[in-house]
Structure 1
């Protein structure tokens, strides 16, 4: 711990993954691979959807929002984590720390909101197919996107303002790979009760509300699908929703585990907490475009035509 002793009033020191410092160099390789795959996958997804007119539908607009959010989340953390692991660049300025915290938490809230919007999209498509185009117009999709954006910004702006106004004294060593809210608040020497209360309330509101409505949407979808007599319709409906369910599980499972173990899992080693928190911001952005690329036939076909034009012209693409 001696190399982390630090009292510069204008900077913090990020430890990386406490307890695994000796393996930071090697851990950085899979982290770098995940970051690169996330960048390539999400940029490809954005390009394919924006350039293919047949994909200009609400479902794919929401997928574009998800890809954009994932790019922000990975870019706000990935480069700094890699610089810590490979180049021992532990320092981060107070302003940069607050900005990173703002992007991480606000865009995580936005991602949760987009997943809820996508669940609503699937509910309308399966339970009210004849009214789909009337309900999910371009104007409504735009308003949903703006609401998701405003909610994320509105909830997390007070959080970061409160953190920036806290007094910090003594060594500013953050036991984390990035500026996570609770990890930074622990270093303050003033009254941090409002920060803890607001942080837990905001996180519970976002995750709790969104997950409940997502669950309700899929219960209604399941009820509607099981009432259909056609086995083919069953398979088609489950296939349509399968990719979205995978994305939801990939996002919420590590997020909830990391969130609750950090606060109440005292028996779990600290490096497990931090490793899960790092993976939460790298794994979902990496897997989302892969899952949608594999499970969504129009996207899979367009990607194949993009990277294998000769194969597509010869008729080997998906039909």
Structure 2
């Protein structure tokens, strides 16, 4: 019996495991490739942890702007940890198998942290708008209770938006001969393409989840900065305008660092099927690894209070 005939006789199949890849075509130098990846993961985890510690240990940073920054740092640690185990397992030990259910769990958390990142960046843009447009009411508007509620809404929104995704994949019939993934982690778009079934519902819901979260957030961030620029242009002196805009530079850079790779990943998945596999892999790694690495660097360079607080934390550790 031919393999295709054998597969046709299987009414429903879900693979016990998927096979992941690291850098396609570069398997012989995975050991060397693991060095920069290990460095990037270390920088991401250390930098974001230091930001959280600096805000926690410095009373004068107990302000809405820095609370949101702590949320961003905590989320970046989660995003880093969602891909670190499988990526380094592939690069270090050539351990390429991931069970079907483990793949769905990793996929959920990977997309969960991406949606939360987008929402936190939106909350930070709202924080900058209130601080610049109505500085006198700023402490009254963004109280600790309001910030906690915003954080809870962000988490709840991500869970509700993404909760159906694993179950929509669980209902699919997969191809026994299509268990090779395109990355060293589980992407929704990558996993659903391994199915031998109609994935129209998955495509539509995936598009809805992206547009209703990251898509809406990006539009609201643009709206926030349009209003911020309108307010800044109304300020009397150029010095006041420059001072107000300078408080937004770190956030603008963080937005660009997140959304440019998001757009790149979307474009590659939609229109880049003819491109080499290595291009797909590199764009995905940039999307998932680079923002958690760059955000602490951006804020430590552009924000003097954060930089000073991080230095104090490091000095205390050295003295301890």
Common fold by TM > 0.5: yes
Shift of 1:8: 9.2
Matches within 5 A, 1:93-172: 93-171=99-177, 172=179
Say what the alpha-carbon RMSD is for the aligned residues.
Answer: 1.8
Shift of 1:21: 2.8
Shift of 1:212: 0.6
8 Å contact from structure 2 (residues 50, 313) kept in 1? no
After superposition, what is the alpha-carbon deviation per residue over 1:119-151, rounded to whole angstroms, capped at 9, x for unaligned? 000000001111111211111111111111011
3-state DSSP of counterpart to 2:183: coil
Correspondence for 2:212: 205
CA–CA separation in structure 1 for the residues paired with 2:238 and 2:126: 24
CA–CA separation in structure 1 for the residues paired with 2:165 and 2:218: 22
Matched, 1:59 2:65: yes
Matches within 5 A, 1:1-319: 9-171=15-177, 172-308=179-315
3-state DSSP of counterpart to 2:37: helix
Shift of 1:185: 0.6
Q: CA 1:8–1:262 in structure 2 vs 1: closer, same or farther (change >3 Å)?
A: closer
Of the structure 1 ranges 210-219 and 227-236, higher mean CA displacement relative to structure 2 is found in 227-236
CA–CA separation in structure 1 for the residues paired with 2:274 and 2:94: 29
Shift of 1:309: 6.1
Give structure 1 regions of 4+ aligned residues with deviation exceeding 4 angstroms.
none
CA–CA separation in structure 1 for the residues paired with 2:69 and 2:130: 16
8 Å contact from structure 2 (residues 14, 173) kept in 1? no
Correspondence for 1:316: none
Unaligned runs of 5+ in 1: 1-6, 311-319
CA–CA separation in structure 2 for the residues paired with 1:8 and 1:140: 44
Of the structure 1 ranges 244-253 and 7-16, higher mean CA displacement relative to structure 2 is found in 7-16
Q: CA 1:23–1:204 in structure 2 vs 1: closer, same or farther (change >3 Å)?
A: farther
Aligned length, in residue pairs: 305
Shift of 1:232: 2.1
3-state DSSP of counterpart to 2:19: strand
Unaligned runs of 5+ in 2: 1-12
After superposition, what is the alpha-carbon deviation per residue over 1:55-78, rounded to whole angstroms, capped at 9, x for unaligned? 111111111111111111101102
3-state DSSP of counterpart to 2:136: helix
- Structure 1 length normalisation: TM-score? 0.91
Shift of 1:22: 3.6
CA–CA separation in structure 2 for the residues paired with 1:270 and 1:45: 35
